[in-house]
Structures are given as C-alpha cells and as structure tokens.
Amino acid sequence: MAVSDALARMYALVDDLRAGKTSVTEHSLAVYGLLLEGSHTPRQVQTDLLLTLLAEARDTEIGRTCGFAGIDSIEAFRRQVPVHLYEDLRPFIERMCNGEPDVLLHGLPGFVAQTSGTTGSPKLVPWPPTLDHEFLPFLFASFGAVETRFPGALTGRQMILSRFIEGHTAAGIPVGSASGYVRNLNESIPGMARVPGIVFDEQRFAVRYYAMLLYMLSQPLAWLAVLNPSTLLTFIEQLDLFGPALAQDLAAGTWTHGPDGIDDVMRVASAQQPLVPAPERAARMRDSLARDKRVNLEEVCPELRVLTMWKGGNAKHYLAQVRARLPTCEIRSEVSGSSEGALLIPLDDRTEGGVPALFSTFIEFLPAELEPSPEAFHDIEELKPEQGYRFVVTNRRSMYRLLQDDVFFLERYEGRTPVLRFSHRHGMQSSITGEKLTEWQIIEAVQAAEAQSGLAALDYQARPEWGEPPGYVMFLELDAPADDKLQRFVIALEHKLHELNLEYASKRSSSRLAAMSLIVLARGELREWQKHELAASGKSDAQAKIPRLRRDLWTASAEHRRIRLQRDG
C-alpha cells in the first residue's frame, strides 16, 4: 500500500462519514483498521503527513518565512524550521486572535482552544475552521479499537464532557476547551450526542450533574468515557448524593426531584431530546441504595462493559478508587492529547497510553535530557526502552515544531510503531536549597509510601514551605481516618526521597532541609483550591490535573493539623 494512498484513504473515510455515506460504527472500524496497517510503516506515514501539512500552510507567513514549499523530507524540515517553545509562537497567535489572517494557518481560526495548565499565562491555541482530517482519525481509531473488543459498545458510548464556548477573542473568535470542542464535534455527527449540549453548558454544578445523570442513566450505557479519572469519581459521588431523587425521576421520566434550577435547564433540554422513563433502572438503583447505602453503577446499568479514562502519570493514583466502584468492567486508556495536539491512541487494555496519532500529528522524539538539535532526535521506529522522550509536534493547530513538556516512555512496539505512556512533566521541579525535587520523584515516593504503610491517599500534592530550615509539606486527602498509618507513611516517604534524590538526602542530613511533614485535608479540598485558582486566572478546569508538586511557597495555616516525622527508622 502506497503511503500517499494511506493518507488519501483516511481522508476519504472522514469525508464519507460527513456525507452520511457510512455509519459511525463502520467508520470507526475502518479507521482503526487503517491505523493498524499504518503501524507497519510509521516513518512513511508520518513523512507523508508532514509534507501534506507543509503544503497546506506554504502560503502562510510562517510557510513563506521557513520555506515550506522547498521542504521535501524530515531532514530538510529540521534544518529549515526551528524548534519552538509556546512563548516563541505567542506573538503570532495573539495577532491571529486579534483578527490578522494567514499567519500560522490560512485565513482566521475557527476556534481557539485554551489550555488548562496551572502555571503561567493561559495558552491560546488557534485551530482552523475544521479539524475533521485531524480529529476524526484520532478519535474514531480509538472507537474502533473498543468496538472490535466489545461489539455494540459504540452505540452505548457516553462521555462526560464540558462547556464548548467559554468566551471570545477581540476578533470574535470562539474560545473554549478542547473537550468542549469534542462535545460540539459529537453533536455534529448523527448518533453521537447522548446528552443535550445545554446540559454541559450549565454552570451550576449540582444542576449540571443532575441533568447529566438523568440523561446518561435513562439510555443504554455500555461504554462510559471520561478524560480525567477525578471527574469520574466526582460523577460517582454525585450519583450517590442524588441517588434517591434520581430513582424517583428516572422511574417517571421527570426532573421534579432535582436541585433548585433544574427546571430551567431541563425544559430546554427535553424539548431538544425528550427524557425517556427508565423504571427498571430506578428499581435497581433503589435496591442498591437500600443494601449498600450507595449506588452500584454496574448493577444499575448491567450492560456497562468498558470504561475509558487516562491511566498514565498522575492518573494512575486514582485507579484503585475507580476499580473499587467499578469492579468488573474493563478499564482502558482514553486518547491522550492536549489543546496543542492529538498524541496517543490506545489499542488495548494493557497500555497506559497508546500509539502515536500517525495520521493526525507529526511527532518528533527528543530524549528528555537533551536540548533540541537535528542529530538529537530518535527515529519513530527506533525508540529505546527506559529512555524518556519529549514530543515536538507539528499539526494543523498552528503548532510547528512545538516542544512539549510531557515526558513519555516506551512500553512496547505494535508492528513498527511505538506504544508509549505518559510519565511526568519535564521541568516540573522545586529547589529551595539546591535539592531539585521533581514531580516524578514525588509520584514514585508516594507510591512506595502507600505500599509500605498501607495508607491509600485519595489525592495528594507537595509544596515547598519556608522556615528554619525550609522544607516541604505533603497535603493528603484520605477516605477514612488513618492516624495509625500516617507516621509510617511519612517515614517511608522520606526514605524513598532519599533514595531517589541524592541532593535531597544530602540537604536533609546536613539539616539544610527539614523533613517533609503531612497535612491531612478534607476530601475534595485540593480540587476546590485548584478550581478557585484557575477561575481567578481565567483558565478552564475542563481537563486540569492536580500537579503532584508545586513550586510556589505554602504559607502555614493554624487550621490544618500537621504530622511531622518523629523518627527515621
């Protein structure tokens, strides 16, 4: 199969779906099959995609400046186009957002994605008016993988999504989250939207979740999809909270027992999509509540067979909590991506990540410890185990050789294509006295401390704290009191940090750094802190993950109980 034929076939599949010539299920299986074929020649597929992207953008400002028209290979691309940090592109992006056309893409953007990062100014990423040829091969290949494993699952797929439009640029271009864009994309494809958009747009938390639960539980739920596992746990918490009222409304197909304000949303939503009574589900919900004092989702929806969510990096911490509430359904990774690019497509339940989105994003692989140079990059077919890689991405989202901060590791190869997993963020470190403590070290230390102490944290975060001497405080959220395990936890935490970071051990032994202390928070407190901080800075929390290490200093508060290290052995 010629490579140009592979790309042409992929785009033809997308166009056929848009024209109504094929069903969502047929399209997903075909796209998945084409990705598997492409996995045997990834370098060729990626080269063809790169040249296609450069041809599309050759008449833009960046295309003329970098000579896109004269680039005919990956090697020439690396010689002529520099690696960019986001801040290098920000001035061009601001011009586009203010209404200047043909800068990084043809014409004006049709949508501007706003990142959900927790540090620095919000990043705006201009997308073209249509991203079908990038987004649909990315999303629907993952759909095809699940549909192959669980025939019929796609017709019962429901996803927890967010608002689409959060605001507008000075030129009137819509601004929102990437997950909101996916919601809008679903609504544009017949048979994909299960919940009316007005429900996801609702800003009142209780109203949004109640309406979402009503719609999702009144329809087949064979496949539950969510990006951030903490969002799934919130979904389950709200299901427990609203259980008795939901059971009454599900039985009758009404919303009369919902929270204040529910009528405002449901009158509009039900006009678009009538609510269907589900008396059998309501009965199972009542039985579950009477027996367990909480809702067993797998009992209420016995057809639920698969859950997809992020499983790598920080997300691994939530797996035990998720499995406790969904003990039998298969848990698979969701697609990995960001506002800046489509990245990884999961093929099975073994991987924490997936294969690169070969037909959507041109990805270069830079060893995490190296600075960019033409000879520093590793070939897609020759990545090394135990080597961390940062991605440099080029795509239709105004990103040209953008160096990203996430670090990925090789799991295995699928054909000649790497299966990669997210590990941590490059450069996420804190150093008060020269210890250079990293987020990855915090994650590893907490996992070791949990295993040794028997304590299971719902959530956690470390922050530096000034003092004599300075040190770090670890915030923990627990499901139940565990006073007998906290001291063992902090001892194990310190020991693992000494093992992982020699500078930390040196600073501790010389008393230049205090032992890490613990502060136990109420359940959900870290998430609430993050929501308030993001809202205050104008950022979206749609896909925000709680960083396991922050660099800004914590100011001690007397209201928080502190656990200090009492002994070292």
The answer for residues whose C-beta is within 8 angstroms of residue 272's C-beta and 6 or more apart is: 196, 198
Taking the domains of the chain in order of start, what are their residue ranges? Answer: 3-131+334-425, 429-563
Q: Please give the pLDDT value at position 251.
A: 98
Q: Compute the distance between CA of residue 385 and CA of residue 357 in angstroms, rounded to an integer.
A: 20
The answer for residues whose C-beta is within 8 angstroms of residue 489's C-beta and 6 or more apart is: 449, 450, 452, 453, 455, 476, 518
Sign of torsion over alpha carbons 389, 394, 395, 396: positive
Q: Compute the distance between CA of residue 20 and CA of residue 189 in angstroms, rounded to an integer.
A: 9
Q: Compute the distance between CA of residue 96 and CA of residue 57 in angstroms, rounded to an integer.
A: 15
Task: Note down pLDDT in tens along the chain; length 569 residues.
Answer: 344 688 999 999 999 999 999 999 999 999 999 999 999 999 999 999 999 999 999 999 999 999 999 999 999 999 999 999 999 999 999 999 999 999 999 999 999 998 855 445 678 999 999 899 999 999 999 999 999 999 999 999 999 988 888 899 999 999 998 888 998 898 899 888 899 999 999 989 999 999 999 999 999 999 999 998 888 988 999 999 999 999 999 999 999 999 999 999 999 999 999 999 999 999 999 999 999 999 999 999 999 999 999 998 778 778 888 999 999 999 999 999 999 999 999 999 999 999 999 999 999 999 999 999 999 999 999 999 989 999 999 999 999 999 999 999 999 999 999 999 998 888 777 888 878 898 888 998 999 999 999 998 989 999 999 888 889 999 999 877 788 889 999 999 999 999 988 888 888 887 888 999 999 998 888 888 877 776 665 555 555 678 899 888 887 665 566 767 664 43
Topology at the third CATH level for domain 429-563: GMP Synthetase; Chain A, domain 3 (3.30.300)
Per DSSP bridges, beta strands 167-168 and 174-176 are: antiparallel
Pick from 79, 149, 569: nearest CA to 346: 149
Q: Please give the pLDDT value at position 480.
A: 78
Q: Compute the distance between CA of residue 415 and CA of residue 45 in angstroms, rounded to an integer.
A: 13
In degrees rounded to 5, what are phi and psi of residue 255? -135, 20
Q: Please give the pLDDT value at position 4.
A: 67
My answer on whether omega of the bond before 469 falls inside 30° of 0, hence cis, is: yes
Per DSSP bridges, beta strands 330-333 and 306-309 are: parallel
Q: Compute the distance between CA of residue 458 and CA of residue 476 in angstroms, rounded to an integer.
A: 7
The tokens describing 33, both together, are 């099959």
Q: Please give the pLDDT value at position 433.
A: 80
The tokens describing 340, both together, are 């800046």
| CA–CA–CA angle 365, 123, 362 (5° rounding) | 25
Q: Compute the distance between CA of residue 195 and CA of residue 251 in angstroms, rounded to an integer.
A: 18
**10 Å Cβ neighbour count for 303?**
12
Q: Compute the distance between CA of residue 505 and CA of residue 422 in angstroms, rounded to an integer.
A: 27
pTM of the model: 0.83
Sign of torsion over alpha carbons 217, 223, 224, 225: negative
* Amino acid in position 501: N
Q: Please give the pLDDT value at position 27.
A: 96
Q: Compute the distance between CA of residue 507 and CA of residue 423 in angstroms, rounded to an integer.
A: 26
Q: Compute the distance between CA of residue 190 and CA of residue 53 in angstroms, rounded to an integer.
A: 29
Q: Please give the pLDDT value at position 432.
A: 83
